[in-house]
A and B are shown apart, each in its own frame.
Chain A
Amino acid sequence: MKIIVNGEAADTRAGTLAALLAELGLGDAIVATAVNGAMVRAVKREATPIADGDRVEILAPMQGG
């Protein structure tokens, strides 16, 4: 299944957002997530399916001014 993760094309077999994070090695990471421009809370990741063409954003704490 082809999706976009953080702006880059990716191939995944993950059925849910939680599975995608695990697949990317971010299962335990402190991140916030959005699918197709809408935030998905951490508690909803297990129940959020990933479909072909989805745009996923995975954001982490970063330096800022």
Chain B
Amino acid sequence: MDAMTEKTTHADTVEFYGARVNSRLLLGTAQYPSPAILAEAIRASGTEIVTVSLRRESGVAKSGQSFWQIIRDLGVKVLPNTAGCKTVKEAITTAEMARELFGTPWVKLEVIGEDDTLQPDVFGLVEAARTLVRDGFQVFPYTTEDLVVAEKLISAGCEVLMPWGAPIGSGRGLNNPYGLRSMRAHFPGIPLVVDAGVGVPSHAAAAMEMGYDAVLLNTAVAKAGDPVRMARAFARAIEAGREALIADPMEVRDMAAPSTPVMGRAVLGQ
């Protein structure tokens, strides 16, 4: 990499609610084989933002306290989620508790509408987003690629949108590339993050080539045979996809076009 390219790459940051980060990978912290592997994967990924949640603490195990120590030691920003919430009230209360616990106005807002697909309840999502923004939260809504819902979330005060690639934990990649491309085209000024459903680094690269600002994933890294290596692979794929977008890819065509010059070709037959 020459000095010029390197400079360009480093200047290519992304901003969420005024917070500028270099890494376009947001990483979940659940389902890793061990706390040590979680910490190593976070380091290997280069991520600056990790998602966390709130769960019941037992006075005996106190597992939440040791987890929180690991995250604090890593020095990354945290994005608390409202995972598992099915009603607006539950999501709002969880967000309020998360704000106090983690000391951040950021919240990854999930209002789940359906168990099999963990599909967002977009009606509840918009309602909860409106209330939370009014209450001073900076909301990262986990949504679908529906443009009308997206408009309503923006009207509610969301300055970031996080459409799903595929159902959470499915690893299916980008289920609706057309929908995601439309969304990118409709909201050129809004930071867009593909959240959920990403399975392998090529899915993440594809999202970045489409012009998405970042990718949020968890299971694809945590459930890989070697999560640390996979975290590194995702980091590289996301950088590659972003570089490719900036580099302006060639046009796709239906028929072949020779890449080797035709002019000056020797006549060797006959």
Contact = CB atoms under 8 A, between A and B. Distances in A.
B53 interface: yes
B65 A24 contact: no
Secondary structure of the B contact surface, majority rule? mixed
A61 B59 contact: no
B119 to A, nearest CB: 15
Interface string B69-101: 001000000001101000001000100111011
A9 interface: no
A26 B57 contact: yes
Contact of A57 (B38, B56, B83): B56
Interface string A14-39: 00000000001110011111100111
A63 B27 CA distance: 11
Contacts, number: 109
A60 B56 CA distance: 6
A42 interface: yes
A2 interface: no
Interface in A50-65: 57-65
A34 B56 CA distance: 11
B51 A61 contact: no
A60 B71 CA distance: 13
Q: Interface range on chain A: under 10, 10 to 19, 20 to 34, or 35 or more?
A: 20 to 34
Interface residues of B, number: 39
Contacts of A38: 93
Nearest to A38: B93
B30 interface: yes
A31 B64 contact: yes
Contacts of A61: 52-54, 64-65, 67-68, 71, 101-102
B219 A62 contact: no
Contact of A39 (B52, B81, B96): B96
A65 B29 CA distance: 6
B93 A39 contact: yes
B58 interface: yes
A59 B93 contact: no
Contacts of A26: 57, 59, 62
Kindly list the 4 A-B residue pairs having the minimum CB-CB distance in the complex, ordered from nearest: A60-B64, A64-B53, A65-B28, A60-B57
16 contacts: A26-B57, A30-B68, A31-B101, A37-B89, A39-B93, A58-B57, A60-B57, A60-B62, A60-B64, A61-B65, A62-B55, A62-B67, A63-B32, A64-B28, A65-B53, A65-B168
